Structure 1
């Protein structure tokens, strides 16, 4: 899984057991050649990709560092050339009565889409490598490798969610789109609605067991949105607390990394 979430879209020359050794040899030792493959990208496009690789991927975020027209042009080129794809927000505009006066914060709030990289390698490159090219050219490879190690679990989190979505589609035989859901103050890693079927969930790629408070937060989000899901699913890299495992609720489904092995049977 780790190899997929770094090297998807990249042709490995050799086989490795350790992901960081692979990153060192295949990317850090060959960064100049790989960098030349991005030479046709404009500086604005590289700025867009760097921002998205490190942020929540919301559409308007780039307007904080680039003029709106330049940012929009960059988005259009990157989407047209298959570097980015748009994830449409499921949020709907707030219904309001005629002549209802909204709070200032509500008037300024806009629904926005998110963007995904078309392959995981692009996101890895613009998160860790492109912003540190000067350091690599100065011979600071070990420093950049340490930076990658420190930020790796956070980086993998998004890809972990995407693999979980693929697993759930197979497990529940879901034909509808499985994606994240974001609202002004509410987010779900996993959200799918198809007719009367509703599933929400969370994916946790961290080095400790998931406790019941994660489930409680999911339930609170559902209450705030006034939804009652058929299933609440949680994926954990490091297992679950005994309290969570002891719950007897058919709606709650707990999965660990080994469960994702089902995807390899395809």
Structure 2
């Protein structure tokens, strides 16, 4: 159906928030909610609610925070981001638009997968104090790619970036400021970078400030 296709394309190329997907599909919340329910039941996508604390998934103080939608398969996300919107050309054997679209949105598209793999790397490396739960954090002001809790109760907050630029101290400073704004009392700050870190940031590495780069991902293979 056109509505489903529009919503799925919106999820694939947007920030995953329900209101963004509905806006891209030019549909109302009521109609969109019904479509999302059916797509979740069909196993195409899953819906996650923002959790500002680990003890509840409920909204706090009546604050309305959009849910997020995720594809259950990376292939489905790729399909609705790059293939389905340009299906006529693909069907006819013309892949020019698909290649151009992917080249222009590659880093943005891979970012989510990179963040999810970061979660797995953290779980593998946390042997002394295993990670009890991990995901992402978002509210109406900030987003953190990494938000977790260890078996001993330590809170983890972090940033994961798939970019060619090295991370520097300003990224850590912003992470700490965002945690303070969100009232997240983090015990461990994690920075995950595709292309490494500045020397200044490396000098700050400690048990409470952890830096992970691509070489740490080899444990996933």
Task: Note the residue ranges of structure 1 that are not aligned, 5 or more in a row.
Answer: 1-41, 96-106
SS in 2 for 1:208: coil
Question: Deviation digits for residues 59-111 of structure 1, max 9, x if unmatched?
Answer: 2223321133331221111101110011221036454xxxxxxxxxxx9x622
1:173-188 matches, within 5 Å, as: 173=127, 174-188=130-144
Q: Does 1:124 align with 2:63?
A: no
SS in 1 for 2:46: strand
SS in 2 for 1:177: strand
Paired residues in the alignment total: 211
Q: CA RMSD in A?
A: 2.0
How does the TM-score come out when normalised to structure 1? 0.73
CA–CA separation in structure 2 for the residues paired with 1:232 and 1:79: 33
Structure (1 or 2) with the larger CA radius of gyration:
1
Change (3 A) 1:93 1:70: closer
Which residue of the partner structure matches residue 193 of structure 1? 149
CA contact (8 A) 1:234 1:254 kept: yes
CA–CA separation in structure 1 for the residues paired with 2:91 and 2:153: 56
CA–CA separation in structure 2 for the residues paired with 1:126 and 1:56: 14
CA–CA separation in structure 1 for the residues paired with 2:140 and 2:28: 24
CA contact (8 A) 2:86 2:97 kept: no
CA contact (8 A) 1:44 1:70 kept: no
Which residue of the partner structure matches residue 57 of structure 1? 16
| Greater Cα offset, 114-123 or 226-235 | 226-235
| Greater Cα offset, 163-172 or 242-251 | 242-251
CA–CA separation in structure 2 for the residues paired with 1:210 and 1:52: 28
Question: Deviation digits for residues 27-57 of structure 1, max 9, x if unmatched?
Answer: xxxxxxxxxxxxxxx2211111001011111
